Structures are given as C-alpha cells and as structure tokens.
Amino acid sequence: MAQQPDLPGPTTSYSDPFYDRLEALAQRIAKRLWLVVLALVVVVVVAVITHAAMRDTPIAASAGQFIDAATKRMEADRARDPGERTTKLAEAEKAFAAVSADEAVTPYYRARACIEAAQLELDRGAIDEAKASIAKAKTFATKALDPDLDLTIGLSEAAVLFQAGDYAAAETSYLNVERATGLTHPDRQIAATIGAAQAMVALNRIDDAITKLEVLANRNDNNAIMLLSVAKKEYWALKRRQSAPAANPTAPETPALPAPTAPAPAEPTAAAPAEATPSAPVVPAPVVPDATPVAPAPAPVAPAPAPSPEGK
C-alpha cells in the first residue's frame, strides 16, 4: 500500500479556519520535534545556572541566614512546654546575634537581626541589652538606606524607652516616627500614634492622649485594619475613664437595713473602671490613670517587614 505523503494542509474532512491552523502548526512541530526538545533542555540548564548564581549572591545568602534565625523564633513561639520554649528562645537569640555579628551579611539584615534580638531581650526584661541592640541596628541602618527599616528601628527604640520607664523620651521618639512616616507608611504612622498616646497616658495626660487618638477614631485604612481597631478601642476606653468620675461625683448613702438576717447590698460608690484594651503589636500596654502607677507590661518591638531579598 502506498504511503500518503505529508501534506501541509488539514488531514480531516472537518474544515474550520482555527482548527486548520492548529493542525498545520502541530504538523510543523512534529517535523522539528528534536529542535523543540533541544530548546527545552537549554531553558532548563539556563534556569539552573541562574538559580545557583543568585543563591550565591550576598543578598540571598544574608536573607537565608536571617530566615533560619527567624524560623527558630517561630519554633519557640509554637513550643508548649515552658522549658522547651525557653531553650528555643535562647537558641533564636543566639542565632540573631550571629547574623548581626557576621560581616558577610548585608547591613539591612544585620539591622533586622538586631531588632529581633532587642525584642527577645525585652521579653526577658534585659533593658540595657535591648538598648545596645537598638544602637547597633541604627548603625547598620545608616548603611542599608531603607526608609521602612529606619521607621521600624524608631518604633523599637520608643518601645524600649517606654519599658524602661522613660515615658517622656518614649513619647518624643514615637512622635518623631509619626512625623517621618508621611503618607507612604500608614501602618508605621498609626503604630507611632498609638504609642505616643499610651506614653501620654503613662504621664497622666489623658486629655492629650484622647486628642491624639481622636484622629484615628474615624479613619479607615485597609493596610492597617488591626492597628486601627486597637486605636479605636483605646480611644473609647479613655473616653469612658474620663467621663466616669463626672457621671458619679458623690457616692449615695447606704440605706438602713430592715432586718439583720437579710442585709441589703450596698450601692456602688462609683462606676467601675473600663476594661483595659489589648495593646498594639508595636506599643506598650496602657496604664490606668486612676490607679497606683505600676510598671508597664513588656512591650513588643515593632514587627519587622517580611524578608525580601530583592534590592536589600
């Protein structure tokens, strides 16, 4: 039987312009299949070589070391046993210290490691060590030239000052960050505003704190929904604290008891203070103004942005 020669046109009885072109293209690819396979092999080889070259760059290597240390921190946070958690936190702190001390790591990731180390040091109450870590981070940031990193360090420094009890300096630091953010970093700006307000509360300047948070009470921003929620809760909590004494200026007298066996409950002398609202991720816990001053709860350092090897 004679073989049918390859035809450039369609081989089926069904004729459609679109399918005819597809069939013609398939026939041409089939004739040059070896060329298609060779092109695929070349693409794969080039991709492997490019990946290996990028992996050996200083930025990629620095990001890898920082991510390894951050992974240890996350493992410590997930640990349920207190002893295991303490051990893993110590390992994470050593890992961040190693990253910050490695001169082969880029200044950006060395500064990021110092910020994370300061957070861990604050958690265990080592104020002086946290201050030293922030000072190192500021030194590395001058070489990194990253605006968001500078703002993060400013928030971290303010949190350290707040936990150290230097509320006036903490307020100044938060306000400096607030002014430096502009419109490019709304999340950092809101965090700085909340921190400044809580420093004012610690200084017993409730009216100033309410005025500061009032700007955020009616603000909507999809990039900082959680921080805005915290700001609004803080605002209304302070408003309730401010209005509670005026609503009950004097305590009513307790009525006479009709019988000794069934004493009437005494009426409240004043409105109960509002519940303390949770603090923002980058600001210290609020201080109740009408209570005896106590040391604030440990203040978490501002969360650093996710590691991005591109351009750092």
pLDDT of residue 160 exceeding 50, the answer is: yes
Section 180-190 average pLDDT: 87
Total-model pTM = 0.63
Tens digit of pLDDT for each residue in 212-231? 999 898 888 777 888 889 99
Pair of tokens at residue 266 = 């005494």
Distance of CA 259 to the CA centre of its chain: 61
Q: In sequence order, what are the residues at sequence separation of 6 or more whose Cβ sits closer than 8 angstroms to the Cβ of residue 50? A: none
Q: Computed from CA positions of residues 204, 210, 211, 215, in that sequence, does the dihedral angle turn out positive or negative? A: positive
User: CA 142, CA 255: separation in Å to the nearest integer?
Assistant: 69
Q: Report the 3 state secondary structure along the chain.
A: CCCCCCCCCCCCCCCCHHHHHHHHHHHHHHHCHHHHHHHHHHHHHHHHHHHHHHHCCHHHHHHHHHHHHHHHHHHHHHCCCHHHHHHHHHHHHHHHHHHHHCCCCCHHHHHHHHHHHHHHHHHCCCHHHHHHHHHHHHHHHHHHCCHHHHHHHHHHHHHHHHHCCCHHHHHHHHHHHHHHHCCCCHHHHHHHHHHHHHHHHHCCCHHHHHHHHHHHHCCCCHHHHHHHHHHHHHHHHHHHHHHHHHHCCCCCCCCCCCCCCCCCCCCCCCCCCCCCCCCCCCCCCCCCCCCCCCCCCCCCCCCCCCCCCCCC
pLDDT of residue 307 exceeding 80, the answer is: no
Using a pLDDT cut of 70, give the percent of the chain over it.
72
Cβ atoms within 10 Å, residue 135? 13
Work out the angle at residue 49's Cα, subtended by the Cα atoms of residues 45 and 52, and round it to the nearest 5 degrees.
Answer: 140
Mean pLDDT over the full length of the chain: 78
Res 258: pLDDT: 40
Q: Which of 255, 130, 280 is nearest to 192 (CA)?
A: 280
Helix axes 147-163, 186-202, angle to 10 degrees: 20
Using a pLDDT cut of 90, give the percent of the chain over it.
46
pLDDT category at 175 given cuts 50, 70, 90 is: very high
CB 154 within 8 A of CB 291: no
Res 31: pLDDT: 81
Tens digit of pLDDT for each residue in 108-138? 999 999 999 999 999 999 999 999 999 999 9
Q: In sequence order, what are the residues at sequence separation of 6 or more whose Cβ sits closer than 8 angstroms to the Cβ of residue 290? A: 241, 245, 273
Res 283: pLDDT: 42
CB 88 within 8 A of CB 77: no
Question: Within 13 Å and on the Cβ side, how many CA atoms surround 99?
Answer: 33
Domains of the chain, by residue range, sit at: 57-145, 147-246+275-305
Give the architecture (CATH level 2) of 147-246+275-305: Alpha Horseshoe (1.25)
pLDDT category at 6 given cuts 50, 70, 90 is: low
Pair of tokens at residue 290 = 């009408």
pLDDT of residue 255 exceeding 50, the answer is: no
Residues in the chain: 312
Section 73-100 average pLDDT: 92
pLDDT of residue 257 exceeding 50, the answer is: no
